[in-house]
């Protein structure tokens, strides 16, 4: 793999704009090479000292006239008002061939180097400031431990740090993150000046951890967000676990920042070597000397912080077990996750591991795809050979068995669309794992989702063929009751696998799904995160699947399966829940918007809540029209459905996708991941067309050779496809928002809250 591709693969997606623009510099080198070829490889050089800005500069070192004469370039540096270095390269001998491209090359290189250097320094400052906060958290943790072990003591923090702490289970040293580094940021030393002066325990409160539903209700009622200090071992364990997660995430940030420095330094080295080769110069050594003296390469704060984090983590969180600590701080690369490295040996090792881990997925997904295709062909041949569609029992079958099996069509199609989303998210470097908040290394790839979807599809198709009896004699019961239970059996298998506690079938992803589903159901009691409203939006496109589940309960619960009859539609209870089931996803989404409106005080969430309220009214009116035909219901359904469609379409395109910007010439946002703009225009048109599928329910438009249940299923599938398209652009917009703010890491809440900090805010 060429370095350019490795460089892009190793980038943190949200920091992509902060990396060296390696491809741009390569394109300029190509221009230099082409210019030299056009001029016949002219080798004559002339002495020319070229400055780009004309500003007074301070050189990094004094150079003699003889050294300047022998150098191809000279790099000078100035310190700006913001405290960041600015570099400028002067070419001492410029050949006539490729002269202008060479000047452009170094101008661009200097700007890119300054950008990287400045970004790195700003991030290091953030890490040092965060280390100071973690110091104070450790102060509180150690004092808390002492208080738990010796509850009768009344020590202050200053006394606690000076006592003999051998009585504790583990030796508590007063080494902290900043003890071995002295970093001045904005002229101030980042040591905790309050240590030893004030009682830590008198100034802190516990931030709430994973709260229960009851505590969420207290939060909604604007009660206290902090707990009084209770010195119990249970609280101590919770605090240690929470602070452990904080240190793991902090160490991960340090690793990424350290890799950022290495990657960009390597990129500069690679591009300068290419320049020397193309321009027949020896400028790389001079430029890299400047790079080596820059903050990007010479600073060692990140390395020292990493060493201190490792030391503290080993001592305070793993009982001095370094191997266990390193496994937590540096988790092993997941087998199905491929990451390239610059080490040839490691690169080959990861390729081998990656290939072995995917062989199972590839074999079985291919097997299930083949089975699905074969079963579809077999099903079509059976229907044709036995003239099943012309059988007298077709209508009964379509009203009883088809709604049962169509559930699997909806689920499988949604999973296939999700797998497609993952494929394109990865292709266009959308960091979906970070956006959804998956635990690092546990996110499913598109092959894994396809394996699950086609496995379920194979099982469902096999059951359909086994239960393809259209005829049924009431006197002889000319079908086996056991086969009627096949759909219920498959649903039971799906539920059992989903809630299975054993570490099989991607347990981490299953439990994450269950947790998010619970938060959707419990809305608005829980704080709404992106996975919560994203999944709730998925359920709004699975209304027909939810109604199929309602039919399962009715068909099997009331014993209709014994005689293959459908008495559900004549039941008022069933009709009532037919409304409720359709409204539940939109109501959950409405409550989530209300929760965010109260917390964030954002009028946008109020308008979003109005969108779902209008959709609820439209769905109820369309359902009422399908059950009770009449002009009044039809006209009301027409009006509110049209209003909800217009509102929802505008919201999808403008707010969720971030498109249709008047300030842009193309009416699209400035940053697009898909290079072809036509894709966005087509997606907008398709979104509008698929949103109008509700017209069939109002117009009662039917195709003669298609049964009503098939029409309902087709319309539901169109909505699932629309949602799959929506998913890609919605997450693309979210990713670009993160990129714009360089937001690449999750925020882990701290266990302790200092009173004076909350007051100062």
pLDDT tens figures, 681-734: 999 999 999 998 877 777 666 777 788 889 999 999 999 999 999 999 999 999
Q: Please state the pTM of the whole predicted model.
A: 0.80
Lowest mean pLDDT among 284-298, 354-368, 679-693: 354-368
Contact 465, 379 (CB under 8 A): yes
Q: In angstroms, rounded to a whole number, what is the distance separating the alpha carbons of residues 281 and 74?
A: 13
Contact 28, 79 (CB under 8 A): no
Report yes or no on 693 lying in a domain.
Answer: yes
- How far is the CA of 125 from the CAs of 81, 119, 121, 129, 721, in angstroms? 17, 10, 6, 6, 46
The residues that bridge with 204 in the sheet, in sequence order, are 754
* pLDDT of 372 over the 60 cut: yes
Q: Between these two residues, 52 and 240, which has the higher pLDDT value?
A: 240
Read off the pLDDT of residues 397-432 as tens digits, 9 standing for 90 and up: 888 899 999 999 999 999 999 999 999 999 999 999
Q: Between these two residues, 648 and 154, which has the higher pLDDT value?
A: 648
Q: In angstroms, rounded to a whole number, what is the distance separating the alpha carbons of residues 440 and 331?
A: 9
Q: Between these two residues, 418 and 62, which has the higher pLDDT value?
A: 418
* pLDDT of 308 over the 80 cut: yes
Report yes or no on 395 lying in a domain.
Answer: yes
Report yes or no on 190 lying in a domain.
Answer: no
Contact 140, 753 (CB under 8 A): no
What are phi and psi for residue 707, nearest 5 degrees? -70, 155
Supply the pLDDT for residue 55.
32
Supply the pLDDT for residue 172.
40
User: Mean pLDDT over residues 30-47, rounded?
Assistant: 66
Helix (H) or strand (E) segment spanning residue 75: strand 73-79
* pLDDT of 663 over the 80 cut: no
* pLDDT of 747 over the 80 cut: no
Secondary structure E strands in 25-111? 45-47, 58-59, 73-79, 85-91, 93-95
Read off the pLDDT of residues 173-206 as tens digits, 9 standing for 90 and up: 444 554 444 333 333 444 443 343 335 666 677 7
Supply the pLDDT for residue 590.
97
The residues that bridge with 753 in the sheet, in sequence order, are 205
Helix (H) or strand (E) segment spanning residue 46: strand 45-47
* pLDDT of 213 over the 80 cut: no
Report yes or no on 309 lying in a domain.
Answer: no
Supply the pLDDT for residue 345.
45
Block residue for tokens 């946008």: 604
Percent of the chain scoring above 90 in pLDDT: 43
The total domain count for the chain is 1
| Confidence bin at 544 (pLDDT 50/70/90) | very high
* pLDDT of 758 over the 60 cut: no
Pull the structure tokens for residue 534. Answer: 């994203």
Lowest mean pLDDT among 33-42, 149-158, 301-310: 149-158
Pull the structure tokens for residue 163. Answer: 């006592």
* pLDDT of 362 over the 60 cut: yes
Residue 633 is part of which domain span? Answer: 349-740
> Of the spans 62-71, 293-302, 323-332, 473-482, which averages the highest pLDDT?
293-302
User: Mean pLDDT over residues 657-665, rounded?
Assistant: 80
Peptide bond just before 524 cis, omega within 30 deg: yes
| CA–centroid distance for 556 within its chain | 40
Q: In angstroms, rounded to a whole number, what is the distance separating the alpha carbons of residues 518 and 38?
A: 68
| CA–centroid distance for 278 within its chain | 41
Report yes or no on 70 lying in a domain.
Answer: no
| CA–centroid distance for 389 within its chain | 46
Q: In angstroms, rounded to a whole number, what is the distance separating the alpha carbons of residues 723 and 417?
A: 9
Q: Between these two residues, 703 and 466, which has the higher pLDDT value?
A: 466
User: Mean pLDDT over residues 507-522, rounded?
Assistant: 94
3-class DSSP assignment, residue 45 = strand
Supply the pLDDT for residue 441.
77
What are phi and psi for residue 45, nearest 5 degrees? -120, 150
CB atoms within 10 A of CB 33: 16
Supply the pLDDT for residue 588.
96
User: Mean pLDDT over residues 68-74, rounded?
Assistant: 65
Q: Between these two residues, 742 and 111, which has the higher pLDDT value?
A: 111
| Confidence bin at 208 (pLDDT 50/70/90) | low
* pLDDT of 296 over the 70 cut: yes
Lowest mean pLDDT among 281-290, 305-314, 457-466, 741-750: 741-750
Q: In angstroms, rounded to a whole number, what is the distance separating the alpha carbons of residues 220 and 218?
A: 5
Report yes or no on 429 lying in a domain.
Answer: yes
Supply the pLDDT for residue 333.
53
Contact 535, 516 (CB under 8 A): yes
Report yes or no on 127 lying in a domain.
Answer: no
Supply the pLDDT for residue 472.
56
What are phi and psi for residue 333, nearest 5 degrees? -65, 130
Contacts of 221 (CB under 8 A, 6+ apart): none
Percent of the chain scoring above 70 in pLDDT: 78
| Confidence bin at 471 (pLDDT 50/70/90) | low
* pLDDT of 517 over the 90 cut: yes
Supply the pLDDT for residue 700.
67
Contacts of 331 (CB under 8 A, 6+ apart): 440, 441
Please list the alpha-helical segments (H only) found in 393-506: 394-427, 432-436, 446-466, 481-484, 486-499
Report yes or no on 497 lying in a domain.
Answer: yes
* pLDDT of 103 over the 70 cut: yes
* pLDDT of 599 over the 80 cut: yes
User: Mean pLDDT over residues 368-394, rounded?
Assistant: 87
Read off the pLDDT of residues 115-165 as tens digits, 9 standing for 90 and up: 999 999 999 999 999 999 898 888 888 888 888 877 655 544 444 333 333
Please list the alpha-helical segments (H only) found in 150-232: 157-160, 213-220
Supply the pLDDT for residue 478.
58
Q: In angstroms, rounded to a whole number, what is the distance separating the alpha carbons of residues 53 and 620?
A: 68
Mean pLDDT of the chain: 80
Q: Between these two residues, 750 and 224, which has the higher pLDDT value?
A: 750
Supply the pLDDT for residue 93.
65
Q: Between these two residues, 730 and 738, which has the higher pLDDT value?
A: 730
* pLDDT of 264 over the 60 cut: yes
């Amino acid at each position: 793999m060429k370095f350019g591709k490795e460089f892009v693969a190793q980038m943190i997606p949200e920091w992509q704009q902060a990396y060296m623009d390696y491809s741009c510099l390569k394109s300029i080198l190509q221009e230099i090479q082409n210019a030299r070829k056009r001029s016949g490889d002219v080798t004559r050089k002339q002495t020319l000292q070229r400055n780009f800005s004309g500003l007074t500069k301070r050189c990094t070192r004094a150079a003699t006239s003889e050294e300047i004469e022998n150098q191809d370039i000279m790099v000078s540096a100035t310190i700006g008002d913001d405290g960041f270095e600015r570099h400028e390269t002067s070419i001492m001998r410029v050949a006539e061939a490729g002269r202008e491209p060479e000047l452009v090359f170094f101008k661009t290189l200097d700007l890119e180097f300054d950008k990287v250097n400045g970004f790195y320094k700003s991030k290091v400052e953030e890490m040092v400031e965060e280390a100071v906060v973690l110091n104070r958290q450790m102060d509180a943790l150690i004092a808390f431990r002492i208080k738990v072990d010796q509850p009768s003591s009344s020590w202050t923090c200053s006394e606690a740090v000076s006592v003999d702490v051998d009585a504790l289970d583990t030796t508590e040293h007063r080494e902290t993150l900043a003890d071995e580094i002295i970093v001045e940021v904005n002229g101030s030393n980042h040591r905790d000046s309050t240590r030893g002066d004030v009682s830590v325990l008198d100034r802190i409160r516990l931030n709430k951890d994973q709260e229960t539903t009851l505590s969420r209700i207290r939060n909604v009622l604007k009660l206290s967000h902090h707990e009084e200090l209770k010195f119990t071992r249970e609280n101590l364990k919770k605090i240690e676990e929470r602070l452990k997660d904080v240190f793991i995430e902090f160490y991960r940030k340090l690793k990424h920042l350290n890799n950022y420095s290495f990657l960009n330094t390597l990129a500069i080295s690679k591009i300068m070597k290419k320049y020397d080769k193309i321009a027949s110069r020896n400028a790389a050594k001079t430029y890299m000397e400047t790079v080596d003296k820059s903050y990007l390469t010479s600073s060692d704060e990140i390395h020292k912080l990493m060493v201190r984090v490792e030391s503290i983590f080993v001592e305070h969180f793993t009982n001095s077990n370094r191997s266990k600590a390193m496994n937590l701080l540096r988790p092993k690369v997941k087998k199905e996750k491929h990451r390239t490295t610059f080490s040839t040996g490691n690169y080959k090792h990861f390729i081998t591991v990656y290939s072995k881990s995917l062989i199972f997925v590839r074999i079985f997904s291919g097997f299930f795809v083949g089975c699905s295709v074969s079963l579809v062909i077999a099903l079509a041949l059976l229907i044709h050979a036995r003239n099943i569609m012309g059988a007298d029992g077709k209508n009964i079958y379509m009203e009883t068995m088809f709604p049962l099996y169509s559930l699997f069509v909806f689920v499988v199609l949604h999973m296939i669309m999700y797998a497609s989303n993952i494929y394109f998210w990865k292709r266009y470097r959308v960091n979906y794992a970070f956006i959804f908040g998956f635990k690092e290394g546990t996110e499913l790839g598109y092959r894994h989702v396809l394996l699950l979807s086609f496995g379920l599809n194979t099982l469902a198709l096999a059951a359909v063929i086994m239960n393809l009896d259209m005829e049924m004699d009431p006197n002889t019961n000319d079908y086996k009751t056991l086969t009627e239970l096949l759909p219920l059996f498959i649903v039971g298998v799906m539920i059992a696998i989903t809630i299975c506690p054993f570490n099989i079938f991607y347990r981490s992803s299953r439990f994450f799904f269950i947790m998010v589903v619970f938060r959707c159901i419990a809305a608005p009691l829980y704080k709404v995160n992106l996975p919560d409203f994203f999944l709730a939006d998925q359920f709004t496109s699975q209304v027909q699947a939810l109604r199929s589940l309602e039919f399962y309960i009715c068909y099997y619960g009331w014993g209709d399966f014994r005689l293959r009859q459908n008495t559900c539609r004549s039941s008022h209870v069933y009709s009532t829940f037919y409304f409720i089931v359709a409204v539940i996803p939109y109501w959950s989404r409405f409550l989530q918007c209300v929760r965010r409106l109260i917390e964030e005080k954002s009028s946008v969430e109020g308008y979003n809540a109005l969108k779902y309220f209008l959709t609820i009214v439209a769905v109820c009116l369309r359902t009422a029209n399908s059950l009770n035909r009449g002009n009044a219901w039809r006209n009301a359904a027409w009006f509110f459905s049209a209003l909800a469609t217009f509102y929802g379409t505008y919201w999808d395109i403008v707010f969720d996708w971030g498109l249709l910007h008047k300030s842009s010439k193309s009416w699209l946002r400035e940053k697009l991941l898909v290079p072809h703009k036509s894709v966005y225009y087509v997606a907008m048109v398709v979104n509008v067309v698929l949103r109008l599928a509700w017209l069939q329910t109002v117009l009662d438009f039917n195709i003669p050779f298609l049964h009503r249940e098939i029409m309902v299923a087709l319309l539901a599938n169109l909505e699932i496809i629309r949602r799959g398209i929506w998913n890609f652009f919605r997450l693309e917009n979210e990713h670009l928002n993160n990129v714009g703010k360089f937001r690449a890491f999750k925020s882990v809440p701290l266990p302790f809250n200092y009173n004076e900090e909350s007051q100062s805010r």
